[in-house]
Structure 1
Amino acid sequence: MAYVYVNLLVENPDTMAAYREKAGAALQKHGATVLVSAPSQTVIEGRRDETGIGVLLEFADVDAAKAWINDPELQETHALRRSAGKSAITLLG
């Protein structure tokens, strides 16, 4: 298994809504499962930049996670997420 942590700082709710309409199909295409989606996060130790919506995704393996983020057919979907605000995506695996 491989896990992806996503931190989203939403600045444009309308664009985020458009992204959400497409995100499920994009994740399903690459066999991802949303393990957790939380509207807020609390840092309990250490320091980090701003946090927003926190999402933990599970993929079958590292290659599947990389295929999802690099899929040429999904670039429009990823562009919607980027246009909605700031996002950081971290591959754990």
Structure 2
Amino acid sequence: MTAFFVSRIKVNDPTKMQEYAAATGPTIAAHGGKLVLRGASSATLIGDEAKQHMTSVVQFPDLDALNAWFNSPDYQQHARLRDEAGEMQFVSYQAPAA
């Protein structure tokens, strides 16, 4: 079943965020991932204001591929840069939902 990786990021250092995105993009593709959405919110319809965050959604063939990417040395070598770039929340989803 298709899996989705959703990140919500409060960017603290835009330069490091750009470096992180550039460095990790190829690691996603190497595991069959495809960027579906990346950007800031257009409007917050309900709940806390989201303008200070950016969101990305990446589609993977399945949860195994998503987890293999996330746990791969190729991706994890960028953990320090990720942590310096901003405050992040990562969530995985499987579709269709069980």
Structure 1 residue 28: deviation in Å? 0.8
Partner of 1:31: helix, strand, or coil? coil
Partner of 1:30: helix, strand, or coil? coil
The corresponding residue for 2:61 is: 60
Structure 1 residues 1-93: aligned runs within 5 Å: 1-40=2-41, 42-45=43-46, 47=47, 52-93=53-94
RMSD, matched Cα = 1.9
- The ranges of structure 1 where at least 4 consecutive aligned residues each deviate by more than 4 angstroms after the TM superposition are 48-51
Structure 1 residue 49: deviation in Å? 8.2
TM-score, length basis structure 1: 0.84
- Checking the alignment, whether the CA contact within 8 Å between 1:3 and 1:92 is kept in structure 2 is yes
The gaps in structure 1 that reach 5 residues or longer are none
TM-score, length basis structure 2: 0.80
- Checking the alignment, whether the CA contact within 8 Å between 2:24 and 2:78 is kept in structure 1 is yes
- Which of the two has higher C-alpha Rg? 2
Structure 1 residue 73: deviation in Å? 2.7
Structure 1 residue 29: deviation in Å? 1.3
For residues 49 and 27 of structure 2, the distance between their equivalents in structure 1, rounded to whole angstroms, comes to 27
Higher helix share: 1
Structure 1 residue 42: deviation in Å? 4.0
Distance 1:72 1:88, change over 3 A: same
- Structure 2 counterpart of 1:92, which letter? Y
Q: Percent identity?
A: 24
Structure 1 residue 52: deviation in Å? 0.7
The gaps in structure 2 that reach 5 residues or longer are none
